[in-house]
Structure 1
Amino acid sequence: MKKFFLGFLLMVLMLPIAASAVYTSPLPTNIELLVMIARIADYLFWILLAISIVFIVYAGILFVTAAGNTEQVERARHIILYAVIGIIVAMLAYGIRTFLLQAGTP
């Protein structure tokens, strides 16, 4: 009985190894380094843009709920300023990415 359970346990433990032998990667293997960096930069651009928009909305809520509180108004202005600077930096980085991608391909 012990041999049966040991054999069954080994079979169950080896099953993922046999299944992984059939696995093929969904990514192509011949991606150039520049293209991969461009894809990562593209994802980071959209993430940074989304975060900046969330901060602009948050600053707008701070403006609306300030009710004459000058500290909260100044805080909201600084948040909007830094969010706009973030958007500008993201756009510049995206432009550099596009330039390098076009310069790297013949």
Structure 2
Amino acid sequence: MEKLIKLVPYYKVITRLGAIVLLLTLAFAPLGVMATDITDYSTNLGVSEENLDTQITNIIQWALGFLALVAVVMIIYGGFTWLTAAGNEERVEQAKKVISAAIIGLIIILLAWAIVWFVAQGVNDAAGGSGDG
């Protein structure tokens, strides 16, 4: 009897794991049936039918656009810091550093965008695409 009492926590764990496995099995069982359907879900869900390289290019260009926005905000922040420095040389130097770093970042972002655009054009031309990359 003592051996059974010592095993009770293990039975609880095994029972819980079994219940989780059973629930997951029942939850994912319909996926196998749905995989046999040949309905075009991309049009129903509004997913584009673009090529993978075009989608990756769009994601990279979106990210670079976001980073450019951050750089512009940093330039504005540096300008605001400079304007509100009130003659404090430390704050003026800090503002100059922020503005110069943001401008350098913006130049790097623009160069990265140009590289992505040229690479996408090259991949698209090599694949025989329409050149929209």
Q: TM-score range by the shorter chain?
A: 0.7 to 0.9
Find 1:72's aligned residue among 86, 91, 109. Answer: 91
Quote the Cα distance in structure 1 between the aligned partners of 2:88 and 2:108. Answer: 31
Please name the residue that 2:45 is paired with: 25
1:84 aligns to 2:103 (yes or no): yes
Please name the residue that 2:72 is paired with: 53
Quote the Cα distance in structure 2 between the aligned partners of 1:50 and 1:28. Answer: 26
Q: Percent identity?
A: 32
| Structure whose alpha-carbon radius of gyration is higher | 2
Quote the Cα distance in structure 2 between the aligned partners of 1:86 and 1:49. Answer: 8
Quote the Cα distance in structure 2 between the aligned partners of 1:84 and 1:43. Answer: 19
Which aligned segments of 4 or more residues in structure 1 are displaced greater than 6 angstroms? Answer: none
Quote the Cα distance in structure 2 between the aligned partners of 1:49 and 1:64. Answer: 23
Offset at residue 36 of structure 1 (A) = 1.2
* 3-state SS in 2 of match to 1:66: coil
Please name the residue that 2:118 is paired with: 99
5+ residue gaps, structure 1: 1-20
* 3-state SS in 1 of match to 2:65: helix
5+ residue gaps, structure 2: 1-40, 126-133
Quote the Cα distance in structure 1 between the aligned partners of 2:124 and 2:73. Answer: 36
Offset at residue 49 of structure 1 (A) = 1.1
Compare relative contact order (CA 8 Å, sep 6+) and give the higher one, 1 or 2: 1
Offset at residue 99 of structure 1 (A) = 0.6
Quote the Cα distance in structure 1 between the aligned partners of 2:120 and 2:64. Answer: 15
Q: Deviations over 1:34-89 (max 9, x none)?
A: 11111011111211111111111111111111111111011101100111111111
Q: TM-score, normalised by structure 2?
A: 0.58
Q: Which amino acid aligns with 1:39?
A: N
* Count of residues paired in the alignment: 84
Please name the residue that 1:7 is paired with: none
